[in-house]
A and B are shown apart, each in its own frame.
Chain A
Amino acid sequence: MMFAGLSRNDKLLFAGFTIAALAMPLLAWPVGANYPDLLQKFAIYGIFAIGFNILFGLTGYLSFGHAAFLGVGSYAAVWMFKGVTMNVIPAVIFGVMVSGMFAALIGFVSLRRSGIYFSILTLAFAQMSYNLAYSVLTPITNGETGLQLRQDDARILDRMFVEQSEGLPSTNLFGLEMSGYPGFYFCCVLLIIAFFIALRIQRSPFGMMLRAIKTNQVRMNYTGFNTRPYALTAFIISGMYAGLAGSLLAVTDPLAGAERMQWTASGEVVLMTILGGAGTLVGPILGAGLIKYFENIFSSYNDGLLAESFSFLPDFLNDALVFVIGPFVGEGWSLLLGIVFMAIVIFLPGGLMEGLARIHGWYRRRGQGDAGRNVAKQAAE
Chain B
Amino acid sequence: MAILEVNDVNKAFGGLKALNAVNLSVEEGTVHAIIGPNGAGKSTLLNCFVGRLIPDTGSVMFNGQSLLGIKPHKINQTGVARVFQTPEIFTDLSILENVMIPAFAKVDGSFRINAWKTVGTRGEVRDMAEKVLEEVGLHEKRDIIASSLSRGDKRRLEMAMCLVQDPKLLLLDEPTAGMSRADTNNTVDLLQRVGTHITKIVIEHDMHVVFSLADHISVLAQGTVIAGGKPEDIKGNPKVQEAYLGGAHA
Q: Which residues of A contact B77 (CB under 8 A)?
A: 224
Interface string of A1-31 (1 = CB under 8 A from B): 0001111000000000000000000000000
- Least CB separation from A214: chain B residue: B92
A208 touches B119 (CB 8 A): yes
A205 touches B143 (CB 8 A): no
A117 within 8 A of B: no
Task: Assess A225 versus B115: contact at CB under 8 Å? Given A208-B97, A208-B101.
Answer: no
Q: Which residues of A contact B82 (CB under 8 A)?
A: 222
Interface string of B64-84 (1 = CB under 8 A from A): 000000011110110001100
B117 touches A205 (CB 8 A): yes
Listed residue (B74, B119, B165) with the most chain A CB atoms within 10 angstroms of its CB: B119
A149 within 8 A of B: no
| Chain A min CB distance to B131 (Å) | 18
Q: Which residues of A contact B50 (CB under 8 A)?
A: 222
| Chain B min CB distance to A165 (Å) | 44
Report how far A216 CA is from B97 CA in the complex, Å. 13
B105 within 8 A of A: yes
B145 touches A374 (CB 8 A): yes
B114 within 8 A of A: yes
Report how far A218 CA is from B50 CA in the complex, Å. 12
A203 touches B104 (CB 8 A): no
Report how far A206 CA is from B91 CA in the complex, Å. 18
Task: Assess A216 versus B89: contact at CB under 8 Å? Given A5-B117, A206-B115, A374-B143.
Answer: yes
B72 touches A205 (CB 8 A): no
* Interface residue total, chain A, C-beta cutoff 8 A: 32
A223 touches B71 (CB 8 A): no
B122 within 8 A of A: yes
B120 touches A207 (CB 8 A): no
Listed residue (A7, A200, A225, A374) with the most chain B CB atoms within 10 angstroms of its CB: A225
| Chain A min CB distance to B128 (Å) | 13
B88 within 8 A of A: yes
B211 within 8 A of A: no
Task: Assess A6 versus B91: contact at CB under 8 Å? Given A221-B72, A224-B102, A374-B145.
Answer: no
A224 touches B105 (CB 8 A): yes
Report how far A215 CA is from B98 CA in the complex, Å. 11
- Least CB separation from A229: chain B residue: B111
B92 touches A205 (CB 8 A): no
B76 touches A224 (CB 8 A): yes
Report how far A320 CA is from B81 CA in the complex, Å. 67
B116 within 8 A of A: yes
Q: Which residues of B contact A226 (CB under 8 A)?
A: 71, 73-74, 110-111
CB-based A-B contact count at 8 angstroms? 108
Which residues of A from 186 to 207 have beta carbons under 8 Å from B?
A: 200-201, 203-207
A245 within 8 A of B: no
A211 within 8 A of B: yes
Which residues of A from 201 to 250 have beta carbons under 8 Å from B?
A: 201, 203-209, 211-212, 214-216, 218-227, 229-230, 233
B88 touches A211 (CB 8 A): no
Q: Which residues of B contact A223 (CB under 8 A)?
A: 73, 76, 101-102, 105, 161, 165
| Chain A min CB distance to B146 (Å) | 9
B108 within 8 A of A: yes
Task: Assess A208 versus B100: contact at CB under 8 Å? Given A5-B118, A233-B113.
Answer: yes
- Least CB separation from B146: chain A residue: A215
| Chain A min CB distance to B114 (Å) | 4
Q: Which residues of A contact B143 (CB under 8 A)?
A: 374
B73 touches A204 (CB 8 A): no
Report how far A229 CA is from B71 CA in the complex, Å. 14
- Least CB separation from B102: chain A residue: A223
Q: Which residues of A contact B92 (CB under 8 A)?
A: 211, 214-215
Which residues of B from 31 to 60 have beta carbons under 8 Å from A?
A: 50
Listed residue (B74, B101, B104, B143) with the most chain A CB atoms within 10 angstroms of its CB: B101
Listed by A's residue number, 29 A-B pairs whose Cβ atoms lie within 8 Å are A4-B117, A4-B118, A5-B117, A7-B120, A200-B115, A203-B119, A205-B108, A205-B117, A206-B115, A208-B93, A208-B100, A211-B90, A215-B91, A216-B91, A219-B88, A221-B71, A221-B73, A221-B76, A222-B50, A222-B76, A223-B102, A224-B73, A224-B106, A224-B110, A226-B71, A226-B74, A230-B111, A233-B113, A374-B144
18 extra A-B contacts, CB within 8 A, seeds A203-B119, A221-B76: A6-B118, A7-B118, A204-B119, A205-B108, A205-B117, A208-B104, A209-B104, A211-B90, A212-B97, A215-B92, A221-B71, A223-B102, A223-B105, A223-B165, A225-B73, A225-B105, A229-B111, A230-B111
